[in-house]
Each structure stands twice: as C-alpha cells, then as structure tokens.
Amino acid sequence: MPLRRIRCEVTVVDHVEHQLTRTAGQFRIVIPDTPGDAGVACAAVFGKPRNGCLVRVHSRCLYSEVFGSLDCDCREQLHRSIELIRARRAGVVVYLEQEGRGSGLLAKAKGYEYSQRTGVDTFASYEALGLPPDCRTYMAAGELLKQLGLKSVRLLTNNPDKVAGLRATGLNVTREPLHVQVAGKALEYLAAKRARGHRLPATPAGKPPRAKAVTRSGSTSIGAPLVSRAPNRLVASLRQLLPAMLERMFRW
Ligand SMILES: [Zn+2]
C-alpha cells in the first residue's frame, strides 16, 4: 500500500490508508507512519466525519476483545461505540495500543493476579505493585484526529481524564456518555472505575445502567438497544419449557 502524506497545521505525517470490510459495510483504516511510533494509534473512519462527529478513543484490551473476558466492559464499549457511530453514518474510532491502562500486558497480568489473590480492585493492585493506576496518554489520538481534519469532536467516554487529554492536544471536546450493559465481575470493575472518577451512574447490585444513546438529531435518549450478556428471550423460554418437556419424556 503506497504511503501518502497528510498535511496538518504544524507537521506533515506519513500514513497508510486502506479500506476494511465488515458485515455492515466498508470503512477506512488510517495508521500514521511515525518513526519510532508506528502502529501506536489506528483510526477506523466511518463515512465522512465532520467537526462535531462522534469519536471513540479506545485503548486495547486483549482479554476482553480477543478472549471474551467478562471481567471488564472494554469490548462492550468498543462495539457500542461502533454501533452509535454507524447509526450517525460518520465518525471515528481511534484504537490505541495502550494495554493494561498504559502499563502493558505483563503489568496487567500481574495486576489481575494480585487482585485475584487479595480481593482488591485492579487500580489498587497496580498501586500495590508500584505501578500508576492509569498512565495512558492521548496525544497520539488527538494528533491523528486533527490530521483527519477534525477540530471538534463529541467523545464517547465516561472518563474525564480522556476528555482532558484530548483537549490538551488542541481539540474542542464534548463528552458523550457511553453506558453499556454488563454483568458479574464487570460490574465490580465499573464500580472501581466510578470510585476513580469515571462518570458512571450508581446502580443497585446486579442492575447495570441503562444506556444513553445518541440519536440522529444529536440529542441523547435513554434505553437504546444495548450490547448485553444477559440470557436472551429464546434461552429464557427454553428454561421455562424444560420442566414440562422432561415430565412428558418420563411419562412416555
Ligand atoms: Zn478490558
């Protein structure tokens, strides 16, 4: 794939660009080819994003996104963001290689091990291991968004640090809440994030927050379709029918 050059206000950055196909359609991949920094940030560009479009800046989570871990909400946040952006027909997902809240996969694994052994959350386990609870940076994401021609974005996040980090790059950032439905241990992770300042509503145990979805008009609404791990209606129906089926089998 040939390299092109995109010109922004202060720098000229090489990048690689190509199309990618999903079931729902094609979108564009843009990856800056910055010396010593290649592959740190990748943009999935849907439609023709303009100022004020929806943007998700997402940090890599191997466990959730590849292995299907139920211990956090990363995969749901990513999928929900794509869903919302596609509904608006334009927007950007910037994917950052910042595994383990910026400390890397090995540190993340150590944090999990400590957390499972002691019962503390993963933020506290990082601190106990002498690691910063969250050392992610958003400079690469901000620069990439500006290189895509954006000056203002509506950022899908519950994390005030992410908003501040992107604003520090000169972008005009408005926060859009991103609430997803999760269950089990992921709820504990949400509680830990809430305690660390993430803008998440308090919910009774076992009752995850309803989603706030962005409508085509730009307003928000409660109760939109969610990415859910709850049993679907078919499973619930089968569970109801099962006792009767067993009774008939034994009678026969
Ligand atoms: Zn995760």
Residue 8 belongs to a domain: no
Residue 23 belongs to a domain: yes
Domain total of the chain = 2
Six token digits for residue 29: 């991949």
Mean pLDDT estimate for the chain: 82
Q: State the pLDDT at residue 212.
A: 46
Q: State the pLDDT at residue 33.
A: 86
Asked if 97 and 105 touch (Cβ cutoff 8 Å), the reply is no
pLDDT band at 35 (very low <50, low <70, confident <90, very high): confident
| CATH code: domain of residue 178 | 3.40.50.10990
Q: How far is the CA of 243 from the centre of ligand 1 (A)?
A: 38
Q: How far is the CA of 118 from the centre of ligand 1 (A)?
A: 20
**Distance between CA atoms of 141 and 57, rounded to whole angstroms?**
7
- For residue 86, pLDDT over 60 is answered with yes
**Residue predicted with more confidence, 150 or 241:** 150
Let me know if 161 is a catalytic residue.
no
**Per-residue pLDDT tens for 171-228?**
999 999 999 988 888 988 888 999 888 988 776 444 544 544 444 443 443 334 344 4
Which residues fall within 8 angstroms of residue 57, CB to CB, at 6 or more apart? Answer: 94, 96, 138, 141, 155, 157, 162, 166
Angle of helix 139-147 relative to helix 160-167, nearest 10 degrees, comes to: 60
Q: Which of 131, 94, 93, 91 is nearest to 110 (CA)?
A: 131
Pair (143, 21) in one structural domain: yes
Q: What are phi and psi of 58, to 5 degrees?
A: -120, 130
Options 60, 134, 167, 229, the catalytic residue: 134
Among left, alpha and beta (phi > 0; psi -120 to 50; other), residue 29 is beta
- The DSSP output letter for 210 is P
How many CA atoms does the CB half-sphere of 152 hold within 13 Å? Answer: 4
Q: How far is the CA of 7 from the centre of ligand 1 (A)?
A: 34
Residue 77 belongs to a domain: yes
From 170, 195, 220, the end of a domain falls on 195
**Per-residue pLDDT tens for 7-24?**
444 455 688 999 999 888
Residue 75 belongs to a domain: yes
* CB atoms near residue 227 (< 10 Å): 16
Q: State the pLDDT at residue 229.
A: 47
Pair (83, 187) in one structural domain: yes
> Which residue range(s) make up the domain with 66?
15-98+136-195
Residue 199, helix vs strand vs coil: coil
Pair (178, 227) in one structural domain: no
Let me know if 136 is a catalytic residue.
yes
Q: State the pLDDT at residue 241.
A: 52
Six token digits for residue 233: 């209606």
Residue 115 belongs to a domain: no
Task: Give the rounded distance of the alpha carbon of 5 from its chain centre.
Answer: 28
Pair (91, 161) in one structural domain: yes
Q: How far is the CA of 77 from the centre of ligand 1 (A)?
A: 9
Q: How far is the CA of 65 from the centre of ligand 1 (A)?
A: 7
- For residue 49, pLDDT over 50 is answered with yes
Q: State the pLDDT at residue 13.
A: 66
**% the chain with pLDDT above 90:** 60
**% the chain with pLDDT above 70:** 74
Q: How far is the CA of 123 from the centre of ligand 1 (A)?
A: 13
Q: State the pLDDT at residue 218.
A: 39
Find the distance separating the first CA and the last CA of the chain, reported in whole Å: 66
Q: How far is the CA of 56 from the centre of ligand 1 (A)?
A: 15
Options 136, 194, 210, 216, the catalytic residue: 136
